[in-house]
Amino acid sequence: MPDHTIDPSDLRGDCAQCFGLCCVALPFARSSDFALNKPAGTACPNLGSDHRCGIHADLRGKGFTGCTVYDCFGAGQKVSQVTFGGQDWRTGAKKDARRIFDVFPVVRQLHELLWYLAEALRMPAARPVHPELRRAWERTDALTRQGPEELAALDVAAHRQEINVLLLRTSELARPGATAKGGKSGGKGGGKSGGKDRRGADLIGARLRGADLREASLRGALLIAADLTGADLRGADMIGADLRDADLSDADLTDAFFLTQPQLDGARGNAATRLPDALTRPAHWTAG
């Protein structure tokens, strides 16, 4: 089991053990999420010489909301301290810095897969596929420990597809209502939809106040600015759902699975929003 192999904190970003890789390796596009354009491989002007953000306490106020909802799932410290053995991109040769920046997004994707696999292995309903999930977890973990050359050459998309087959099977086992109720993806609007398949649905700005979305598949659904106030999302598959600016006030996400902290951080909610135990209520959510 993953609990015996990796500390859960290894799948959360630890900036103290990283050389600010997300602030350098990744590109920014000027938008509502970022106040400026920044190409990949160029340090953000807010990054200090100590690899810390100079405006961290006021990122939202300065127009860098995108930074507040990002999590590398522990890839930053893995690349900084394990893959490159503590090598600082600022002090080495330019070619070495480029290798670091090329490898970081690869390891980030692998660590995200580890997070999903670890959650699947904790789900009793997925017990029939636990042996396959465990092998997939071990294989993915081994990939993260390869050298820079092997990581840079890795076909991450192909590996993600292999893992996705298992995660889909996990979702089916965890959502018995999906098989019992069936049904096709619905359009925008509320109504009864427990167990329905809404994978990839365009629900941008949808009025889903009080909607019954129990055991629904919302994999990759576009829920940007959707009104999910008071919605019932218990047992829903949330993998890849875009919750930016979605209103989760008073919603019930108890036992919703494959939901990540960055997804919640990009949404809005309040003190009455019910969350899975493993996730934290974002500080910017309202108290009411």
pLDDT digits 0-9 by tens, 121-150: 999 999 999 999 999 999 999 999 999 999
Checking if the pLDDT of 101 tops 50, the result is yes
CA distances from 122 to 1, 126, 151, 176, 213 (A): 9, 8, 28, 17, 23
Mapped onto helix, strand or coil, the DSSP state of residue 108 is: helix
* CB 248 within 8 Å of CB 227: no
Which single residue is written with the structure tokens 């047992």? Answer: 235
Checking if the pLDDT of 14 tops 70, the result is yes
What's the predicted TM-score (pTM) here?
0.89
**C-alpha to C-alpha distance for 100 and 205, rounded to whole angstroms:** 39
* CB 25 within 8 Å of CB 105: yes
Higher pLDDT, 191 or 57: 57
pLDDT digits 0-9 by tens, 32-48: 899 999 999 999 999 99
**What are phi and psi for residue 192, nearest 5 degrees?**
-75, 130
* CB 26 within 8 Å of CB 66: no
Give the pair of three-digit tokens for residue 258. 């494959």
Confidence band, pLDDT 50/70/90 cuts, at residue 7: low
* CB 243 within 8 Å of CB 204: no
